[in-house]
Structure 1
């Protein structure tokens, strides 16, 4: 993965009800959500710092903040906004907090909020990601605005925190602009929001709950999912394959629309990557898997899990694919072309040594999606697009390599 975040120039951002610096806005906490936020003075980081990985959908850009504030009292709020962004992910290069002090990174409506103190203990505070450099990344906040608030009992003018960078998510048009996509929607796109099938296909809907959106190192996008009864996750090797990338990534469960055809997904549940266990050998046209675990596993257990098929599938087997193509809220691909038409089926169960093929609709961002049969076992790990032969790595071959590392039920 060509993604190495170099040390960038840092800017001290003191969080408070203090003075206004450049176009960064500081307002009292009580007024934080009624004041129109200003866009922070920020610059796009150099191209060498932007996310870039072959076969992975780029969904955001890294920006640096240039400005500083000092704080004088508790209750200060710093607004970080990039108009039109789909998410904001803030980096603290340092926290200088006394015992009992903390900062929160929240959405403007407060529905999504992450709390951090000097100890950065995931058991007592919020989750976070790291990139091997000083400091940490707060969990991403949906939308174009992150509200960063300091809570302190100290009366001091010293700096409490340093914010030097943030990722901002692209909108739909920008995602299309920044990504080359192989034609993987075969004929008419028959994918629908998962909630559309809650009544007609309750089992497919339920199994899809174990599937999450994977935000890679702040700027890349794939799909990932729980496998087996323990804390294990699968995605593609070409999505990430190193411990540093696992530690720098978020897994977002329950990111799906509340109504069929709506545009109303909630933030869901976000956890960070923990431990890299195994990566497949060979290239991205072979088994192409990464097995890893997450932090705060208890937070995602209610979403269920999936199990690998341990024997080869057959041509003509009915199948379906849940996933986050294009970074969209979770969709299900059940039909080939039209609703209630022909079901998706395996076109060739032995396309080559490692893969099966199908023409069920996928797109960039579906990399890492599970391909399930009518018995709701995973028969393949989707990783290659190209109609009419989209491809998934054979799940029984993956099972043979990771059986000792998972509890497959």
Structure 2
């Protein structure tokens, strides 16, 4: 799969004509029947074996789409389209936008022949209906695909409309008793902890079997991000992940308890996988832009966690807006064990509340605000990989980012 940088027009465009005037217009109104959780099969496109051949020539006007298709699903929290094939002339493009002008997500996504190719997911639009349109450049000499060894045109075979929280091998990340985590803004007065939480991102990972929420965070000063292996284990996963920062409520009373709640800023829609380790359940990726100067970054403690030390966990449980787990029902959160079994040997354990989607969160020491463990598994107590193991492994592989420990 090849997925290259795509351009995003950040402003909405008005409908220039009704669907009746489009060169071709089709629609799909989806039901709850899915191939996988939150995935709906569809079949449409232009060229590449579809019913409509790719336009051989165009006239001088390119203001109207040559093809349009409406995807509509009343159950959708978002829509992310999967291209099975994508190979256009370099200046032609496919455009996606919300069909309902009343939605807050006014972005217009454009995928050009010179910046996108192959098999990939689009970015997700927060809407229940999208219009997929093909625009072609005026030419009288015929068209040629960017990659002449692949079919000319594009094909869509499914789309994702719901995401599920990612968990480790089916383990249940736990709220231990009542949920004592709070909206991140409730801890603004704890300035060091709140500042550390700025480096934490909400991840939406598009995989063939469905979309999944995880948490990740900026590690070191070179633009790297770390999460769990069970979240991102391949370059295909990294290439189809949305990295969203500042997804949190503006006040303590803001309720962000919904998937994709309290939207922030999606700063990257793909990354380069540096390494993913199953045994230590970590994945290190590098974002296409270094955000450490804007959001700060976290460091791993080389010596690891200490028994009974106070800790806190900034996270995106269930894909909600950012929360910080700092207290338990019995007081401040602490490390309760350094040798807990279960998902891995000798894990760091604690009773701070997490949920599915918290996978990949940093477990941060109150004393020095370094990361002492990488959260990855639940069960009350919840558990994490000790930071010294991560540091030692990355140093041995010569992939430890600058200022990461």
TM superposition score category, shorter chain reference: 0.7 to 0.9
In 1, distance between residues paired with 2:356 and 2:333? 19
Asked if 1:103 is matched to 2:75, the reply is no
Asked if 1:194 is matched to 2:184, the reply is yes
Q: Which residue of 1 aligns with 2:275?
A: 278
CA change 1:393–1:67 in 2 (3 A) is closer
Asked if 1:145 is matched to 2:140, the reply is no
CA contact 1:102–1:151 (8 Å) conserved in 2: yes
Query: Paired residues, what number?
Result: 342
Deviations 1:86-123 (A, max 9, x none): 221112334464454333333455533332211116xx
CA change 1:271–1:75 in 2 (3 A) is same
Q: 1:62 aligns with which of 21, 26, 39?
A: 39
Q: Which residue of 2 aligns with 1:315?
A: 307
Q: 1:184 aligns with which of 170, 174, 187?
A: 174
Shift, 1:301, TM fit? 5.0
Q: Which residue of 2 aligns with 1:326?
A: 318
Asked if 1:119 is matched to 2:109, the reply is no
Question: Which has the larger displacement, 319-328 or 84-93?
Answer: 84-93
Q: TM-score, normalised by structure 1?
A: 0.72
Q: 1:335 aligns with which of 327, 341, 359?
A: 327
Deviations 1:173-223 (A, max 9, x none): x879xx97636111110112212222x222222211211222223412221
Q: 1:380 aligns with which of 353, 361, 373?
A: 373
**Secondary structure of the structure 2 residue equivalent to 1:246:** helix
CA change 1:68–1:310 in 2 (3 A) is closer
Q: Which residue of 1 aligns with 2:248?
A: 256
In 1, distance between residues paired with 2:351 and 2:250? 27
Q: Which residue of 2 aligns with 1:209?
A: 198
Q: 1:239 aligns with which of 211, 225, 231?
A: 231
CA change 1:278–1:153 in 2 (3 A) is closer
Q: Which residue of 2 aligns with 1:224?
A: 216
Q: Which residue of 1 aligns with 2:80?
A: 89
Kindly report which structure 2 residues correspond to 1:355-374, keeping only aligned pairs within 5 A, or say none. Answer: 355-374=347-366
Deviations 1:103-159 (A, max 9, x none): 3333455533332211116xxxxxxxx9xxx43321112232334344445389x99
**Secondary structure of the structure 1 residue equivalent to 2:121:** strand
Unaligned runs of 5+ in 2: 1-18, 47-51, 144-151
Shift, 1:276, TM fit? 2.6
CA contact 1:139–1:270 (8 Å) conserved in 2: no
Shift, 1:360, TM fit? 0.4
Q: Which residue of 2 aligns with 1:346?
A: 335
Deviations 1:273-296 (A, max 9, x none): 4333233353xxxx32222223x2
In 1, distance between residues paired with 2:327 and 2:129? 37
Deviations 1:277-326 (A, max 9, x none): 233353xxxx32222223x2246752221110011322221111011111
Shift, 1:270, TM fit? 4.2
Shift, 1:227, TM fit? 0.8
**Secondary structure of the structure 1 residue equivalent to 2:63:** coil
Q: Which residue of 1 aligns with 2:284?
A: 291
Kindly report which structure 2 residues correspond to 1:20-59, keeping only aligned pairs within 5 A, or say none. Answer: 24=27, 40=29, 44=33, 46=35, 50=36
Question: Which has the larger displacement, 393-402 or 349-358?
Answer: 349-358
In 2, distance between residues paired with 1:83 and 1:181? 30
Shift, 1:67, TM fit? 5.4
**Secondary structure of the structure 2 residue equivalent to 1:119:** coil
CA contact 1:41–1:65 (8 Å) conserved in 2: no
CA contact 1:273–1:293 (8 Å) conserved in 2: no
In 2, distance between residues paired with 1:299 and 1:183? 29
CA RMSD of aligned residues (A): 3.4
**Secondary structure of the structure 1 residue equivalent to 2:348:** strand
Q: TM-score, normalised by structure 2?
A: 0.73
In 2, distance between residues paired with 1:205 and 1:112? 30
Shift, 1:17, TM fit? 4.1
Shift, 1:19, TM fit? 6.3
CA contact 1:273–1:292 (8 Å) conserved in 2: no
